[in-house]
Amino acid sequence: MNDSYTCKVQDPAQFGRVAVVMGGSSAEREVSLDSGRNVLAALRARGVDAHPIDGIPALLDALRAGHFARVFNILHGQHGGGEDGVLQGALESLKVPYTGSGVLGSALSMDKTRSKRVWQSLGLSTPTFAALPRGADVYAAARRVGFPLIVKPACEGSSVGVTRVFAETDLAAAVDLAAKYPGDLLVESLIEGDELTVAILGRQVLPSIHIVPKGAFYDYNAKYVAEDTQYICPGATGAAAEELAALSLAAFDALACSGWGRVDVMRDRNGRNWLLEVNTAPGMTSHSLVPKAAAVAGIDYQELCWRVLETSLKEGV
């Protein structure tokens, strides 16, 4: 490591028995299982008494039986995904410490429409958008936003259900795809430029990553399957890096996020940054972005998992 961080915990026994909760029942189940296996191996390699648990019901049963001291949450998504505040609320009620953001931060971040409304209220830049409840007039919403635009589920991650739309004739197909997922939809201006992501670990902003997919944009395949996506880290330098880091931390704080997370941003052709979303339980797969940024900051994968696990500790512990 080349940063000045001092671990709060020196002895892995201080964490107690740790449940690494993964899988679940969201649309991102397979990604979560992949992330979870990696996290589990890393924690065990550092001597942590960590054990895999698949999904929220099994976790809550084990916690009520007193089997675990804390939870490393690497579930992704909503509706059984553990990233929408529901799991956090259950853990709060059981008084079990856990990694990552609390109830409010998780719930707000999972709902892209509400995230954007908070950012707008604070003057933080985010693309023009229109909320699209089920049955609403998508054509009217698209005319308000203007083409090109993006249609996506308001409460999903990993780019599932996302379509770039350049003409009104393509709207129906885009809505049909997004509507396969639960919840409302979101129509958002398409910002053409560079895709960037900024990881936050505690209060440390890690180096940004400029994502260069082989295809038109950074979709599910480019994130988790393709081997030809380029990751340039740092994605910004000098004053541009400072501006991006400040915006990302402000966006993270605005949504009451804590612990760790990842802020996704578009940088347009004029160099202006636009906030897209915050992920409160980012992927930890071999293709994932937080481990890549951490490595550039001198934090290897095992150390990263240790530090994320430390976010389950209360201040002063």
Give the pLDDT score at 50.
Answer: 98
Q: Is the pLDDT at 244 greater than 50, yes or no?
A: yes
**Range with the poorest average pLDDT among 30-34, 222-226, 257-261, 294-298:** 222-226
Start and end residues for every CATH 3.40.50.20 domain found in the chain: 12-100
pLDDT of residue 240: 96
103 band by pLDDT with thresholds 50, 70 and 90: very high
Specify the higher pLDDT residue, 250 or 223: 250
Residue 94: the pLDDT is 97
> Which CATH superfamily, name and number, covers 129-189?
ATP-grasp fold, A domain (3.30.1490.20)
pLDDT at 25: 85
pLDDT at position 120 is 95
DSSP lists the bridge partners of residue 131 as: 186
**Which H, E and C letters describe 2-48, residue by residue?**
CCCCCCCCCCHHHHCCEEEEECCCCCCHHHHHHHHHHHHHHHHHCCC
Q: Which two tokens stand for residue 69?
A: 């001291």
Highest mean pLDDT among 46-55, 127-136, 208-217, 279-288: 46-55
**Residues assigned a catalytic role:** 28, 158, 224, 262, 264, 277, 279, 283
- The alpha helices in the chain, defined as continuous H runs, are 29-45, 56-64, 86-94, 103-110, 112-121, 138-145, 171-178, 220-224, 238-254, 289-296, 301-310
> How confident is the model over 86-94, as a mean pLDDT?
96
Per-residue pLDDT at 51 exceeds 70: yes
Q: Would you call 230 exposed, middle or buried from its count of C-beta atoms within 10 A (0-12, 13-18, 19+)?
A: exposed
3-state SS class at 223: helix
The residue among 142, 152, 149, 150 whose CA lies nearest residue 176 is 152
Domain(s) labelled CATH 3.30.470.20 in the chain stretch across: 109-125+191-296
What does the pLDDT average to over 71-99?
91
Tens digits of residue pLDDT in 170-185: 888 888 887 777 677 8
- Give the closest residue to 294 by CA, choosing from 214, 215, 205, 227: 205
Residue in the structure block whose two tokens are 């890690």: 206
Q: Which option is the CATH number for 109-125+191-296: 3.40.640.10, 1.20.1300.10, 3.30.470.20, 3.10.180.10? A: 3.30.470.20
Residues 6+ apart with CB under 8 A from 176: none
Q: What angle do CA 1, 256, 210 make, to 5 degrees?
A: 50
Identify which of 74-88, 221-235, 243-257 has the greatest average pLDDT.
Answer: 243-257
- Residue-level pLDDT at 316: 36
pLDDT digits (tens, 9 = 90+) for 269-292: 999 999 999 999 999 987 889 999
- pLDDT digits 0-9 by tens, 79-89: 767 888 999 99
317 vs 312: CA distance, rounded Å = 10
pLDDT attached to residue 297? 96
Task: Kindly state the percentage of the chain with pLDDT values over 70.
Answer: 91
Q: What's this model's pTM, rounded to 2 decimal places?
A: 0.87
Mean pLDDT of 55-77: 96
Q: What are the tokens at 208?
A: 């940004």
pLDDT tens per residue, range 185-227? 888 999 999 999 999 999 999 999 999 977 665 455 555 455 6
d(CA 52, CA 72): 10
State residue 317's pLDDT score. 34
Region 92-117: mean pLDDT is 94
Which residue spans of the chain are classified as CATH 3.30.1490.20? 129-189
Task: Give me the CATH code for the 12-100 domain, please.
Answer: 3.40.50.20
Using the structure block, give the residue that is written with the tokens 């890549």: 292
Q: Report how far residue 78's alpha carbon sits from residue 258's, in angstroms, rounded to the nearest whole number.
A: 18
Q: What is the pLDDT of residue 170?
A: 84
Enter the DSSP assignment of 79. S
